[in-house]
Amino acid sequence: MCERESSPELRQDPLTGLWVIISPNRSHRPIERETSPLSVEKKECPFCPGNESQTPPEIDAFREKNSLPDQPGWHVRVVPNKYPALNETSQILKSQNLLYNSIPGDGVHEVVIETPDHNSELFSLQVSELVSILKVFSRRLQQIRKNRKLKYALIFKNAGRKAGASLNHPHSQIIATPVLPTKAKIEIQKLKQYYRNNKSCLYCDVIKSEKRQGARVVAESDEFIAYTPFASRFPFETWVISQRHVSRFEMESEDRLHNFAMMLKRVMTKLNRAVGLDAYNFLIHTAPLVAKNDHYFHWHAEILPMMTSVAGFERGAGFYINEIFPELAAQKIREAN
Amino acid sequence: MCERESSPELRQDPLTGLWVIISPNRSHRPIERETSPLSVEKKECPFCPGNESQTPPEIDAFREKNSLPDQPGWHVRVVPNKYPALNETSQILKSQNLLYNSIPGDGVHEVVIETPDHNSELFSLQVSELVSILKVFSRRLQQIRKNRKLKYALIFKNAGRKAGASLNHPHSQIIATPVLPTKAKIEIQKLKQYYRNNKSCLYCDVIKSEKRQGARVVAESDEFIAYTPFASRFPFETWVISQRHVSRFEMESEDRLHNFAMMLKRVMTKLNRAVGLDAYNFLIHTAPLVAKNDHYFHWHAEILPMMTSVAGFERGAGFYINEIFPELAAQKIREAN
């Protein structure tokens, strides 16, 4: 049982086909008990400058010239998650029988510390600071893509207790898994089929339709558009997507990331004025690592404010109940100035 | 916008095929702000005896002889949800185009008030009281099944704020939808395929395998078995299922419901001792309403303790991270005496 307790495992549910990560490491992580971000003591925060030794050694960083790894002087810092949901190991062995399918929990779980400033918010950073964070995301995805054993990567941010954060210092995470999640698999099947039938990208066609209808559009620039999706799962859920077709986030140039950062800051600031972004998840979906030919995919970001709690119906039926029409949510976000 | 704000709508996501209920009614419901169940004033609780006029008129009840509907004297009482996620209407019109699929939010959303006692817990009730609740569930499902427009029904309980409860008085809910949720659709496809290939029910084979292995079994009686599933999504997730093959919960006799109630009370009491059932979801999955021939389905109950919060990775990838091996969870539940 001892070894079990430290080695994560991926298991597939025989009834639904859904994968789950069983990861006992996670239960050892510290969880801030404070309700307000301001009540946390900086000297105890493992993500604050001066406390670099409290994290595993850094993998990547934006640093001031002549500053040393794992010392202060960084602007963005990437470290392995100290309590990873997945292990980094060299070998993947699959164990499968008729009912039970499992593989060792090998993969990547990294933390991107977004700023040295403990008390800031992602959307209150300068655009240039946001660009540095996005560049780090991009570099990490490029690196992860080199590992042929990994099939899927997600960049995600949990901000606020209600969104699942255990530490308040602004940070994002990257998880890469050795299996394609069932949800992504289903989406990819739909995207491929749509591409075959219509000779166009489903996301591109949704963007065109959103622009034509206008009711769900929140903000628009020459290069990006933000809208509340037709079947939004969460109140005020907002997507930011490139108007031009690009499959992989990590293929974007610095100029384009600058444009994206401007749109992101604009939309999140509006969302914060409209509903107060105390708790939210932020996601960047890039094309799955598994596909060589991923022309059907269109990278995008999702901002999911967490205002209501998910309950038994959602967990039992996988069916979300959203209390506000996306058209009304879009109007409220647009009007928040 | 006014009509929109009161009429729910079901919408299908063009990218994932997942359905969402957009239900503005829900945002008007009262939410208790207290953190402890005991701090709620009974005189203000709409589910307490004497306050029957605060709910819509009752649909069904177990009552003392000579007591009147919507008056005290009930043991279990069913009312329409005052803030329903779905409306009961007579006609379902489908609106569909290439990208956007939606139907009016017609369906059933009922509340089962489990006991007149505001401060009790489901698992602290007498077995005979549990049987009354289960009989009411069964009667409601039989009634709902008569409506040919409904495709799916779920019985669910949100207990505690972390599990999504908005009121503390012990109650369950029933939602029936005019579409089959995508999650159920996928599961049914798997079950049917398994039945074709193996000439047996997948649940029955999982039960046999669980009994043979033993490591995940929590409790067993002649008629029912409780175990922590191989790919549990949540820490201490526990299923209770009939050892004999029965597709529909609402086909069970009173004797069998009595047996089920005993197992439920036993398992929930153990779970409460092991981890403290402050917040949990309880679900009863019966065969979908849509199927005439549902021999492949096997009704079951799920108890989902809510100890950790779901975060960005789960929301983005649909991939759960569970911090404890189901085998260890089962051991801890078994040993809680």
Q: What is the pLDDT of residues B260-282, one digit of tens each?
A: 999 999 999 999 999 999 999 99
Average pLDDT over residues B298-303: 98
- For residue range A120-146, list pLDDT tens digits in order: 999 999 999 999 999 999 999 999 999
Question: How far does A101 lie from chain B, in Å, by closest CA?
Answer: 9
SS3 B200: coil
CB contact under 8 A, B319 and A230: no
What ipTM was reported for this prediction? 0.90
- Beta-bridge partner residues of B113: B77, B171
Average pLDDT of the residues of chain A: 90
Query: In whole angstroms, what is the distance from residue A176 CA to residue A141 CA?
Result: 9
Q: Is the distance from CB of B34 to CB of B166 less than 8 angstroms?
A: no
CB contact under 8 A, B317 and A190: no
Q: Which 61-90 residues of chain B touch chain A by CB within 8 A? A: 85
Model confidence band, residue B93 (pLDDT cutoffs 50, 70, 90): low
> Chain B contacts of A162, Cβ < 8 Å?
309
More confident residue, A97 or A116: A116
Of A90-94, A333-337, B251-255, B320-324, give the lowest mean pLDDT range.
Answer: A90-94
Query: In whole angstroms, what is the distance from residue B165 CA to residue B32 CA?
Result: 9
More confident residue, B291 or A333: A333
CB contact under 8 A, A181 and B13: no
What are the structural domains, with CATH classification, of chain A?
2-23+37-182 (3.30.428.10), 198-335 (3.30.428.10)
Residues A43-72 as b/e (b if ≥16 CB within 10 A, e otherwise) read eebbbbbeebeebeebbbbbbeeeeeeeee
Of A93-97, A192-196, A259-263, B244-248, give the lowest mean pLDDT range.
Answer: A93-97
A9: nearest Cα among B318, B324, B126: B324
Average pLDDT over residues A170-192: 93
Question: How far does A160 lie from chain B, in Å, by closest CA?
Answer: 10
B15: pLDDT strictly greater than 90:
no
Residue B251: count of CB within 10 angstroms of its CB: 14
B76: nearest Cα among B56, B55, B98, B60: B60
Instruction: Tell me the C-alpha to C-alpha distance, in Å, between residue A258 and each of A132, A223, B193.
Output: 9, 11, 49
A236: nearest Cα among A329, A310, A308: A329
Q: How far apart are the first and last CA of chain A?
A: 56
Contacts of A90 by beta carbon, 8 Å cutoff, 6+ apart = none
The token pair that represents A192 in the structure block: 């491929």
Residue A121: count of CB within 10 angstroms of its CB: 17
> Chain B contacts of A18, Cβ < 8 Å?
231, 233, 318-320
Q: Which 185-244 residues of chain B touch chain A by CB within 8 A? A: 186-187, 190-191, 198, 202-203, 205-206, 209, 229-233
- Sheet with B95-96, edge to edge strand ranges: A320-322, B19-22, B9-12, B101-104, B95-96
Average pLDDT over residues A39-49: 79
Of A92-106, A261-275, A291-305, B76-90, give the lowest mean pLDDT range.
Answer: A92-106
Instruction: Specify the amino acid at residue B247.
Output: S
Q: Is the distance from CB of B323 to CB of A23 less than 8 angstroms?
A: yes
Q: Is the distance from CB of A191 to CB of B21 less than 8 angstroms?
A: no
Nearest CB to A27 within list B173, B318, B323: B323
Question: Would the pTM count as exceeding 0.90?
Answer: yes
* A-chain residue closest to B13, CA distance: A231
Question: How far does B100 lie from chain A, in Å, by closest CA?
Answer: 7
Q: Is the distance from CB of B95 to CB of B84 less than 8 angstroms?
A: no
A72: nearest Cα among A91, A49, A53: A49
Query: In whole angstroms, what is the distance from residue B239 CA to residue B14 CA?
Result: 33
Q: Which 287-306 residues of chain A touch chain B by CB within 8 A? A: 302, 304
Q: Is the distance from CB of A141 to CB of A10 less than 8 angstroms?
A: no
